Each structure stands twice: as structure tokens, then as C-alpha cells.
Structure 1
Amino acid sequence: MENTKKIAIPGILLILLWTYTGFDKIIHWETSRKAFHNQTFPAELAEVLAYAVPITELLIALLLLFSVSRWWGYLSSILLLTVFTTYVGLIWVGAFPRVPCNCAGILESLGWAEHFMLNLLMLAMGIYGLHQNQMKKPKEFTSGFQGVKF
């Protein structure tokens, strides 16, 4: 596989993930909002997250779309996926007194174990993409010697 394709695949997959989940929450606003209120955190936080999560997901997709901001997109993806994966993992192992619904469009049909594995896969994509993004940038370090680059 061509090197540019290897670099592009994680970004494309994450753009698809964030675009789908962000727009799904907006299109099915009432269902999404109710799902946030059915989670195990306080109602005030649920209301903030009902707005913040889809906006954040779409912003991350935009960051990943442009090469100048892609590094931030990968970093944001890793951060958000770590939070989501941790939360799903805690639900899966029974850390909460009740199990909230798993409401996310097509992903709704996944159980908690499958959702956890998908999140881990996407988290790995984010880490790989960040690494590949770093590798393609030329590293320059100038020393005290004029014109000598390390």
C-alpha cells in the first residue's frame, strides 16, 4: 500500500466517525438529548454535553480535514476517544449502579463490549494517524553551527 494512503486512512476513518456521530446527534436531537439525560451523570452536565459533544465531534472532523490542523484533530480524537472508551469500559464492567442506554444511531445495535472494542480500534487509528502525521513532517534542528541541520 502506498505510504500516502497509509497516512490518509486513519484520518478518513476518524472524519467519517466524527461526522456521522455529530450529525446523528443533531438530526435526532431530542432522542440524543434524552440519551444524555439517561446517562449516569448529573442532569446539568447532561444538558451541557448534549450541546457540547456533537459540536466537538464536528469540530474534530473539521480539524482532521485540513493538513494545517490535522495534528490537533488527531490529538483531540485521541482525547475524546479515551474519555468515551473509559466511560464505555466502566459501564461494561458494571462500575455504575445502573446501565444507561447505548444510543448512537447505527452503533446503537452494538453491545457494550463491541462498543468498547470499536472505540479501542478508533483510538488506535488516532494514535497511528498522529504518529504518521508526525513522521511525514521534516524534522529540523539547527545547532549553533551556521547552516548545519540535525
Structure 2
Amino acid sequence: MLLFILFTYAAGSKLANYKQFLFQMDAQPFNNRYTTPLVIGLLLIEFAIAACLIFRKTMKAGLWASLIMLVIFTAYIALIKLNYFGSIPCSCGGVIERLNWTQHLFFNLFFVGISIAGIVLYKLPPSAPRQSQLKLS
């Protein structure tokens, strides 16, 4: 549920402030001709991940996709923290953009852990009913 909220909130706040998101993405260290496809792609991917996390049939794919996206975002933040790109504005949107880069790094690492926990828990077989859960007729 936390991952669903994260991706829905992130994509929704970016969409609600689309022009600001576009402007912030222009300031990223990528060629500006890729800004529009990146913005649209990120929004679609974030909403798609959130949608996958709703249904049991697609939850495993959603958990893996969230892990991959969060690892990519976390690696990008680590490069920013190492001054690989120089000064970069956050383009996350909403209250998340108020975090400094160190807080953002730990925030992302927390959700990487949540994604890993979700994948591990998803793979566990359902436990057998305990004696106290068995109905005696």
C-alpha cells in the first residue's frame, strides 16, 4: 500500500504541476530535446506501477518495477550527492521536493527496502492455518 501511495502521489503531483515539472526536468543534465519524452514516460511509468500494485495478478510485476525505478532514482541521487552533475534541482513534486538530497536518499532507500520486503513476502507460500484458526464442526 505504501508503494501505491508513493507512486500515485509522485505522479499525481507532477501532473498537477506539469509546467513546473517540465521546467525542472529541463534543468536536469540531459539533452533538452529528451525532456518531453522523459516527462511523459516518467508519468506513465509511475501511474502504471501504481496500477500494477493494486491487483494481485500484476502485483509481482509492480513490486519489481517499483524496485527498479527506486534503484534508478536512488543511484541518480547518489550521483548528485557526489557532485557528478553539479547543482541539480529536485523534480519530484509535492512535499517530496522539499527534502534535501541526503533526506531524499534515505527516503528512497526506505522505499527500496519496502519494495524488497514486498517481493520477498510475495514469494513466501501462504502459511498453513494454525490450530486455533481451524473450524471444528
Equivalent of residue 59 in structure 1, options 37, 40, 48: 48
Matched residue, 2:90: 102
Q: What percent of counterpart residues are identical?
A: 25
Matched residue, 2:68: 79
Unaligned runs of 5+ in 2: 128-137
Cα displacement string for residues 74-105 of structure 1 (whole angstroms, at most 9, x for unaligned residues): 00001100110000110011111x21111321
2:2 aligned with 1:13: yes
2:13 aligned with 1:24: yes
Unaligned runs of 5+ in 1: 1-11, 139-150
Cα distance between partner residues in 1 of 2:62 and 2:44: 14
4+ residue runs of structure 1 moved beyond 4 angstroms? none
Cα distance change on mapping 1:71 and 1:137 into 2, 3 Å: farther
Cα distance between partner residues in 1 of 2:82 and 2:107: 16
Cα distance between partner residues in 2 of 1:55 and 1:25: 11
Give TM-score scaled by structure 2 length.
0.88
**Amino acid of the residue matched to residue 90 of structure 2?**
N
Matched residue, 1:5: none
Give TM-score scaled by structure 1 length.
0.80
- What is the Cα-based RMSD across aligned positions, in Å? 1.3
**Amino acid of the residue matched to residue 28 of structure 1?**
N
Cα distance between partner residues in 1 of 2:80 and 2:100: 11
